[in-house]
Structure 1
């Protein structure tokens, strides 16, 4: 029985040694596999980061172009509005000058009898002038009278 015991001890010893070798080999392979996966993840991370960075740069350019168009549009509209306001200001100024000239002309006409009231009289359609009867008549034969509103 001692031989069987020796064989069993030898087998157990070999089994332990084989289990230890297998464990060391597996540990070594796992470390190698872990290193490979770590490097693959780092490589993927770099590729993804580069892709995200490129996309962000394209989006930034796109947004910058959009803001540039908006700014250009605002400047154009502002210049156009300023031009319209400037033009209208000159038109208003010219109109004020024309109104002042017309007021002066009206005052001058009023001073020269421009406020007289003319109409047509009778069936013949002759021109008639409204007379201020309260002012009286003048001349040798009272042939002159003062027009109303004069």
Structure 2
């Protein structure tokens, strides 16, 4: 029985040793597996980070180009608005100046004609010149009561003072 007990103890020690050896082997295998998984995770993290960074750079570049394009378009629009406004203002100012010149010239002509008419009326004893008919021909008032004169009776006395 002693040999059986010794055998059992040996078996138990071998079993414990084998258990311990298997545990250490599993621990080493799991440790190796854990290291390789961590290395793969790090590599995967690097690839994902690089992909995200590249995507961010592309997106940033696209946004920068779009912003530049938008700024160019807005500045061109404002430049067009300013140029059109300046041209409209200059055109209106030119038209107003031209009309002012016409009005001033017409006013001067009217004043001269009024002075001339007053002078002629004064010299000719109140005879007034005007325009008559559809064609606006020059005409004067005549004294129909004074009668007609000349061989063909085509002359008449002017009405006046």
Q: Under TM normalisation by the shorter chain, which class is it?
A: 0.7 to 0.9
Deviation at 1:144, TM superposition (A): 4.2
Deviation at 1:91, TM superposition (A): 0.7
Q: Which residue of 2 aligns with 1:134?
A: none
Deviation at 1:126, TM superposition (A): 7.5
Structure with more relative contact order (C-alpha pairs < 8 Å, separation 6 or more): 1
Aligned mates of 1:119, 1:49 — CA distance in 2: 99
Deviation at 1:10, TM superposition (A): 1.1
**Which has the greater radius of gyration?**
2
Aligned mates of 1:128, 1:69 — CA distance in 2: 71
* CA deviation profile, 1:57-87 (whole Å, cap 9, x unmatched): 1111111111111011111112211211121
Q: Which residue of 2 aligns with 1:60?
A: 60
Aligned mates of 2:96, 2:102 — CA distance in 1: 10
CA RMSD of aligned residues (A): 2.6
Q: Which residue of 2 aligns with 1:38?
A: 38
Aligned mates of 1:57, 1:13 — CA distance in 2: 64
Aligned mates of 1:109, 1:78 — CA distance in 2: 46
* CA deviation profile, 1:28-52 (whole Å, cap 9, x unmatched): 1111111111111111101110111
| 1:1-150 alignment runs, 5 A limit | 1-113=1-113, 118-120=131-133, 127=137, 143-144=159-160
- Structure 1 unaligned runs (5+)? 132-140, 146-150
The alignment's TM-score, normalised by the length of structure 1, stands at 0.76
Change (3 A) 1:99 1:6: same
Count of residues in correspondence between the two structures: 132
Instruction: Determine if contact 1:118/1:128 at 8 Å carries over to the other structure.
Output: yes
- Structure 2 unaligned runs (5+)? 115-128, 142-156
Higher strand share goes to which structure? Answer: 2
Deviation at 1:127, TM superposition (A): 3.6
Instruction: Determine if contact 1:119/1:127 at 8 Å carries over to the other structure.
Output: yes
Aligned mates of 2:104, 2:136 — CA distance in 1: 31
The alignment's TM-score, normalised by the length of structure 2, stands at 0.71
Change (3 A) 1:95 1:12: same
